[in-house]
Amino acid sequence: MRKKIVAGNWKMNLTQTEGQKLTSEIVNMIKDESTQDVTVVLNPPFVHLQAVKKLIEGVNNIYLGAQNCSDKASGAYTGEISASMLASFGVSYVIIGHSERREYFGETNSMLTDKVKLALENGLTPIFCCGEPLDIRENGTHAAYVTNQLSESLFGLEEQDIKRLVIAYEPIWAIGTGKTASSDQAQEMHATIREHLASKYGKEIAENMSILYGGSCKPDNAKDIFSKPDVDGGLIGGASLKSRDFTDIVTSF
Ligand code: 13P
């Protein structure tokens, strides 16, 4: 059985007080709803990890996640945060290769390989992001574009490592735009991603990996998107900043 996962990516939003308020509300709502079979991950900015960690203590289906980690193990890299620091702090998940990091911070497929390896070596679960920009979608080469992202960053991994990853398909044209992929578009790409993973690592491994959808996922479209056979949850941006919306997405399976 694949894990159902809903992860909130706060991006660079919220003060510490706002983050604490949001987390407390989510914790209370999640406790009240029957969400035990859903893994919930909160990915606040680094400086809020401590506060969020305290508030989610004792809630057994909410996990701490980070939004990034360095591609270097340690050393003179001012301003960077390593995978081992995150692991030693109690972080369980780390988003790697978000399109915003690829676009604004020049992260390349090969750099992402290093990040994934360091995350895995330190016992973190990478949430590896892939997804195509609008022009690629419009010229119809999105499947090749996304499968190439996966091959270049991940296909050097051993079987025992790839199966520890979570994949997030986030079409860039749907991120923060209010323009979500239709559930059929999401299903088509998720199936393509799973087939691609199966072509390298075999059907059993691919069948057991969770593939999340991200891009303007909201309470009013989550049910439809999550109902698709190859969609195992969501990576949520804007709607993860509102406790009611986020919790409604968590209960959308
Ligand atoms: P939105 O949900 O705001 O479109 O963001 C999606 C995303 O980038 C999550 O990582």
pLDDT at 34 over 80: no
Is 20 a member of any domain?
no
- For the residues 115-131, what does the mean pLDDT come to? 98
Is 65 a member of any domain?
yes
Whole-number pLDDT of residue 197:
98
- For the residues 112-131, what does the mean pLDDT come to? 98
Q: Provide CB contacts within 8 A for 84, sequence distance 6+.
A: 73, 74, 118, 122
Task: Give the β-pairing of 62-66 and 93-96.
Answer: parallel
- Number of folded domains in the chain? 1
Is 29 a member of any domain?
no
Render pLDDT for 37-71 as a digit per residue (tens, 0 to 9): 999 999 999 999 999 999 999 998 999 999 999 99
Q: What is the DSSP string of 89-133?
A: HT--EEEES-HHHHHHS---HHHHHHHHHHHHHTT-EEEEEE---
**CA 168–ligand 1 middle distance (angstroms):** 11
Catalytic residues: 98, 170
Q: How many residues does the chain have?
A: 253
Is 156 a member of any domain?
yes
Is 81 a member of any domain?
yes
Cα gap 111→72, rounded to integer Å: 9
| Residues with a CB atom less than 6 Å from ligand 1 | 9, 98, 170, 175-176, 214-217, 235-239
Cα gap 193→178, rounded to integer Å: 24
pLDDT at 93 over 90: yes
Is 22 a member of any domain?
no
**Residue 243's domain spans which residues?**
39-250
**CA 243–ligand 1 middle distance (angstroms):** 15
Structure tokens at 250: 């968590």
Is 2 a member of any domain?
no
SS3 content of the chain, % helix, strand, coil (to 5): 50, 15, 35
Probe ligand 1: pick from 134, 221, 236, max atoms within 8 Å of CB? 236
Is 1 a member of any domain?
no
CATH number of the domain encompassing residue 146: 3.20.20.70
